[in-house]
Structure 1
Amino acid sequence: MQTWQWTTWGDRRYLTCSLLAPWRHGFFTQQFWPQLPQDLVQVFHPHAQVNRVKQVHGNRVLTPSELQQPLGDGQDDTLHAADGLVSDGDTQSLWVCSADCVPVLIGDRHTGQVAAIHAGWRGTAARIVPQAIARLQSQGSCLADLQVAMGPAIAGEVYQVSKTVAAELGESLTDRPKEDSATASPESIESVLQKLQNLPNPPIYPDEHPERVRIDVRRINQLQLEHLGLEPQQVAIAPHCTYQSPQDFFSYRRTKQKQVQWSGILSAST
């Protein structure tokens, strides 16, 4: 059974998951704000390499080696644009930040390699977690060896979205090419929503607004993992909602302020 524990560093606490016990990792709370991964990595290893990206709500996944490559011409950013990281060496810490989006940490029990993913609704619709797993597989991972933990995020019962957004998320559970939401007919959108409603433990909830629904993005990611072939015991979802837990987590939906909490994991040697 997957369990979640509060761990303390000094007088502040962060969340860990038993599925990821072989790796140093943490889903940090707002009490660590405004510290950055360069500071938080001390929790894991004093000399670990720190890797982070400029998150853009896409499905691009990079390795630390790729982060060392120069940015393209005309880019004056200091960070590469991506929303996922996959380790390619030992003692590499990978970091993503979130407020209501889903932070996903993955470990491979056989190779020791890890991944950290920022899965907002757009990234989830673009299947960023399967994309990260494909990168892990290209580096020798087997699906049966993966352990996946989804950290605190906004819960489905309070996450109101348009029906179009919900349909985009629903389309991510099929093998069909993604339909352009701008040209999707009302009938096709309703068809996708009905299919979501018919799923076991459906990820969709009704809303009082006729053109909106409520959607559980973590459940969508869980269903994508099931579609890949992962077993239920390989996936854990934190029992914490960022929107409904103001004492521990920032929530953009709640405050409209750009404040984040960090999640990170350290790769291990095999």
Structure 2
Amino acid sequence: MHTWYWRNWQGLPYLTCSILERWEHGFFTQQFWPRSPQVITQVLQPEASVYRLKQVHGNTVLTPQEIDSLLSTDDQDLALADGLISEQPLQAVWVASADCTPVLIGDVKSGQVAALHAGWRGTAKKIVPLAIARLQSQGSKLDDLRIAMGPAIAGEVYQVSIDVAAEIGASIIPDDDEQKIITALHQLPNSPLLEDPNAGKVRLDVRRVNTLQLENMGISGEQIAIAPYCTFQTPEHFFSYRREKEKKVQWSGIVSSKKNH
């Protein structure tokens, strides 16, 4: 089993996971708000270059090089995307979340890393499998990947419409028939769907859907760790958009390391 650890920086708590112990990383709490990734990178690795995005709930995954070339042609401060993949050592990649799932990935052979923002829309669009396909195109092997999903809203409190559940469900059960998708999801072992008292609604475990997408790719459960924290139910540590309706976030980041020869 993978262990999650509370760490402390100047009295402020953040989480790390044993599955990513080779890399400087953290799932930071609301106590770090409103510090920027530039500042929080100092906690992990002061020498790292820092990359972040303007997140748009899509499935675009960029590399630092792509960000640099995009920003040199645009007037924007930040590239629009929801995932980052390192190319060199000492690149810190960051995502922000408030109920959506922050996903940090490391490759034990190459030392490269990824940070992804997987809300329900990004999950429906398979952002995590797409990012892993990009890592594979950079030479990663599936067996070498280690994946941690940070604090996010838990299935038991995340009410969605049947439409939304079917849209996400189609990412693991390819079918056009909404009702068939919902029925098939309910029948899965450890189903990502839970009953909801309201008609036309269900409860949805987005991290479970991401896990099923990964398992469909051939990644084993031992390569995946899921934080035992729900943003909605842990107000002392995490912002929750559902709970507060405020545009505040917590940051999750990881720093690429040198190759392990």
Q: TM-score range by the shorter chain?
A: over 0.9
Contact 2:67 2:79 in 1 (8 A): yes
Q: Secondary structure at the match of 2:70?
A: coil
Q: In the aligned structure 1, how far is the partner of 2:183 from the partner of 2:53?
A: 36
* Offset, 1:227: 0.2
Asked if residue 257 in structure 1 is aligned to residue 246 in structure 2, the reply is yes
Q: In the aligned structure 2, how far is the partner of 1:138 from the partner of 1:190?
A: 36
1:45-194 correspondence runs (5 A)? 45-71=45-71, 76-174=75-173, 188-194=177-183
* Offset, 1:20: 0.1
TM-score (structure 1 length as normaliser) = 0.94
Over the residues paired in the alignment, what is the CA RMSD in angstroms? 1.2
Contact 2:83 2:115 in 1 (8 A): yes
Q: In the aligned structure 1, how far is the partner of 2:173 from the partner of 2:53?
A: 29
Q: In the aligned structure 1, how far is the partner of 2:172 from the partner of 2:139?
A: 25
* Offset, 1:175: 5.1
Asked if residue 4 in structure 1 is aligned to residue 36 in structure 2, the reply is no
Instruction: Name the amino acid aligned to 1:67.
Output: I
Q: Deviations over 1:83-115 (max 9, x none)?
A: 000000010000000000000000000000000
4+ runs deviating over 3 angstroms: 70-73
Instruction: Name the amino acid aligned to 1:265.
Output: I
Identity within the alignment, %: 59
Q: In the aligned structure 1, how far is the partner of 2:24 from the partner of 2:164?
A: 35
* Offset, 1:190: 1.5
Q: Deviations over 1:103-159 (max 9, x none)?
A: 000000000000000000000000000010011001010000000000000000100
* Offset, 1:256: 0.3
Q: Secondary structure at the match of 1:68?
A: helix
Asked if residue 205 in structure 1 is aligned to residue 206 in structure 2, the reply is no
Tell me the matched-pair count: 259
Could you say which residue in structure 1 is the equivalent of 2:212?
223
* Offset, 1:46: 1.2
Instruction: Name the amino acid aligned to 1:86.
Output: I
Contact 2:173 2:184 in 1 (8 A): no
Q: Secondary structure at the match of 1:223?
A: helix
Instruction: Name the amino acid aligned to 2:178.
Output: I
Asked if residue 244 in structure 1 is aligned to residue 233 in structure 2, the reply is yes
* Offset, 1:77: 2.2
Show structure 2 runs of 5+ residues with no match.
none
